[in-house]
Amino acid sequence: SQTIHQWPATLVQPVGSPLSLECTVEGTSNPNLYWYRQAAGRGLQLLFYSVGIGQISSEVPQNLSASRPQDRQFILSSKKLLLSDSGFYLCAWSDGTGLYEQYFGPGTRLTVT
Amino acid sequence: GNSVTQMEGPVTLSEEAFLTINCTYTATGYPSLFWYVQYPGEGLQLLLKATKADDKGSNKGFEATYRKETTSFHLEKGSVQVSDSAVYFCALSWAGNTGKLIFGQGTTLQVKP
């Protein structure tokens, strides 16, 4: 069966510091991968998606970047965090065929202070 | 463009009450429709799905019917429990969209004993 991992689970970082969040998927190959952000009390905002290694599409221009160095690894980064980067970050995968249903990881709670 | 609109929350019900959360969509062609549930502090879980008109998705006592004539996918449950308290998201996807999901804004359900 497939599983998706995210770490860290929680993170408190000062403004201006760098960020690296990691997401890995097990039990499938060549998945589509997605990063979402959920601000407190709000819906989900798609940040990036990837259909293959090294292929990244950005949905919203901002302070963040994403990379996919391996087939089942997706990394969200920032060089300098802003207060507005605080939120709940969710990684998801889909098999890119059929119904396009996505499966979500447990999330990372980021607080920028 | 394609979009999803959900009824605003929070929805507060007593245990064993009937639940309806409205969801309507705007889309060209024939999208697939989904309901996701998010329990406090967790990622999203796929609750149910439907891929074509008149399909009924069901899971854990929840159900929703894909109504193309009214472009709706309302979530229902006959008797809610305290454990159903969560945020519910309606979403759609469509072929050729690299699997991206369009989410509604989410509806918070609170069930009181």
The 3-state secondary structure of chain B, one letter per residue: CCEEEECCCCEEEECCCCEEECEEEECCCCCEEEEEEECCCCCEEEEEEECCCCCEEEECCEEEECECCCCECCEEECCCCHHHCEEEEEEEECCCCCCCCEECCCEEEEEEC
Amino acid at A2: Q
Nearest CA-CA distance, residue A96 and chain B, Å: 6
Judge contact between A52 and A68, C-beta under 8 A: yes
Q: Would you say residue B28 has pLDDT above 90?
A: no
pLDDT at A96: 67
The percent of residues above 70 in pLDDT, for chain A, comes to 94
The pLDDT, as a whole number, for residue A7 is 95
CA distance B56 to B72: 12
Selection from B107, B106, B102, B105 nearest residue B91 by Cα: B102
Quote the pLDDT of residue A2.
87
Q: Inform me whether the pLDDT recorded for A50 exceeds 70.
A: yes
pLDDT on residue A43: 81
Closest CA to A69 of A110, A24, A100: A24
> Which of B23, B100, B103, B107 to mutate: most A Cβ within 10 Å?
B100
| C-alpha pair distances (Å), B45 with each of B35, B38, B59, B70 | 9, 6, 12, 26
Query: At residue A98, does pLDDT exceed 90?
Result: no
pLDDT tens by residue, A55-76: 999 888 678 999 999 999 999 9
* Chain B interface disruption, residue of A100, A104, A108, most B CBs within 10 A: A100
Q: What would the mean pLDDT of A64-91 be, rounded to a whole number?
A: 95
Q: Is the pLDDT of residue A45 over 80?
A: yes
- Amino acid type, B38: Q
pLDDT tens digits, residue range B57-108?
A: 999 999 999 999 999 999 999 999 999 999 999 999 887 667 788 899 999 9
User: Between the CA atoms of A50, B53, B69 and B47, what dihedral angle is there, to the nearest 10 degrees?
Assistant: -60
Query: Measured between CB atoms, does A56 come within 8 Å of chain B?
Result: no
For chain A, positions 69-108, list CB contacts with chain B under 8 A: 90, 92, 94, 96, 99-107
Give the residue on B whose Cα is nearest the Cα of A48.
B100
Residue to substitute from A37, A99, A108, interface B, most B β-carbons within 10 A: A99
Smallest Cα distance from B18 to chain A, Å: 25
From B83's Cα to the closest Cα of chain A, the distance in A is: 19
Of the two residues B54 and B29, the one the predictor is more confident about is B54
Indicate the average pLDDT of chain A. 91
**pLDDT score recorded for residue A97:** 65
